[in-house]
Amino acid sequence: MRKFLFVVLIAVFGFVGYGFYAYTVADWRLAPDPRAVVMETSLAPTEAEWHASLLMGLVRKALSEENPGAEKALGSIGESPLDLPLTLPQGFAYRVRLLRYSVPVFDERLSAWEPLALEAGEYALDITCSAPEAAGQGYGSFRYRCTFTVEPKLEPTLLTGRLEPEQGDIVSLRLVHVPPGITPRAETELGMAIFTPDGADAWYVAIPVSNTQAPGRYEILVQAGDRDFVVAVNVLPFVFAEQNLIVNTESALISEASSPAAYREYRAKIPPLFETFDAERYWHGFFIRPTIGRISTEFGTIRYTNGNYESFRTHNGMDIAAPEGSSVFAANAGRVVLAERLLNTGNTVVIEHGGGLKSYYFHLSRIDAAPGDMVEKGTLIGEVGSTGYSTGPHLHYEIRIGNRPVNPDMLFTANAGIYSAANVKLAHALPAPR
């Protein structure tokens, strides 16, 4: 009996001794190590509390740890709905608190979570992972925190400037926040619109109002993906000058320059250029006057020849009278698409500025450019002359968008024309189709 008591005593002491030892050495190795993974980032607990189970649950040791530095800043998460694919260790439950600017937008068990489309803002995510107290087992909780930002989703937006163009003006629009992969387009009763990129997600839209466009109200529909914008413009009449040009028809040069062969050549060389465009925008800022001199014939002038008032031609460019040999400069940056002598327009240079906006230089005495040349604003391209159908040294300077001649004057000033960013206002967007 004594022997038996002794054995029991030894066993009890052994058990208690082992228990004491186990309690002393018990540490986080006895706790589970759950991880929360948010936006593919593994989070470590900022707070942990665990009641380790010892001696088959007869004794528990409380462990606790705080590590505020484990809170992670995940940065911007874009606009995708926030999904929380948390992996649950057996027997654990998650509680999720999501706060936007400290205001809860979700505060429930994870099982109630549905991917949320989040408004833009600053978010804090607070996840508690806990195992309930159960006989013979450890229990406790782990807390994870992270912060992230949802950037505002930028909708395509159309900016407009002046919407009361005169005949010969350019209607200038700017489309911003266009998602990648979307090529905007336009339909307009004014005939055509050119788009040139302005950075990664914006476009310049230029709609020429030719000098012969009838005054009145016109609509422009601009589409960017599933967003439609309608802009109404009111074309105002422009009073064009009239001019009676005296031409010596006896002159061999004039008769050659106005011969059927000359017009045939013109039609073969110039109108095909109206159809071509470079997608890239080369021009920047205002256009410079390509040469120095007096404007001898304004853009759009209604021109009679030798007093024949029955028939007229409209002057599609601007004539700048200057001494023979005066330098002619590229009005803006671009690519030379034509540089040769033509019977009607004489020595001719044409520069593509991007999107189908071109400048035309006629009657040069010499050409200092070649097709394919990339020119800067102010690059010397030739000299003033009187070649082709011309009655004296001058530069015929013409600006066209596609086939539409526009008033070169409007491009000389910094707050007008196609680069106009002044006086922009939001165009009314139609609701996106459902």
User: Which spans of this chain sit near Zn ion (rule: CB under 5 A)?
Assistant: 317, 319, 396
**How near is the Cβ of 156 to Zn ion at its closest, in Å?**
41
Q: Nearer to Zn ion by C-beta: 143 or 394? A: 394
**How near is the Cβ of 319 to Zn ion at its closest, in Å?**
4
**How near is the Cβ of 348 to Zn ion at its closest, in Å?**
12
Element (H, E) at 122: strand 121-131
Q: Nearer to Zn ion by C-beta: 39 or 410? A: 410
396: burial class by Cβ within 10 Å (0-12, 13-18, 19+)?
A: buried
CA dist., res. 13 & res. 177, Å (int): 77
Looking at 147-201, list the stretches that DSSP marks H as alpha helix, in order from N- to C-terminal side. Answer: none
Q: Nearer to Zn ion by C-beta: 227 or 396? A: 396
**How near is the Cβ of 342 to Zn ion at its closest, in Å?**
14
- The residue number whose beta carbon is nearest to Zn ion equals 396
**How near is the Cβ of 407 to Zn ion at its closest, in Å?**
13
CA dist., res. 60 & res. 316, Å (int): 95
CA dist., res. 63 & res. 31, Å (int): 9
**How near is the Cβ of 317 to Zn ion at its closest, in Å?**
5
Element (H, E) at 204: strand 203-208
CA dist., res. 270 & res. 19, Å (int): 100
**How near is the Cβ of 396 to Zn ion at its closest, in Å?**
3
CA dist., res. 343 & res. 388, Å (int): 5
In 274-414, where do the E strands start and end? 294-297, 302-305, 308-314, 318-321, 327-329, 334-342, 346-352, 357-367, 374-375, 380-384, 394-401, 404-406
Element (H, E) at 20: helix 2-25
User: Could you tell me which residues come within 8 angstroms of residue 297 by beta carbon, excluding any fewer than 6 positions away?
Assistant: 241, 243, 303, 315, 318, 319
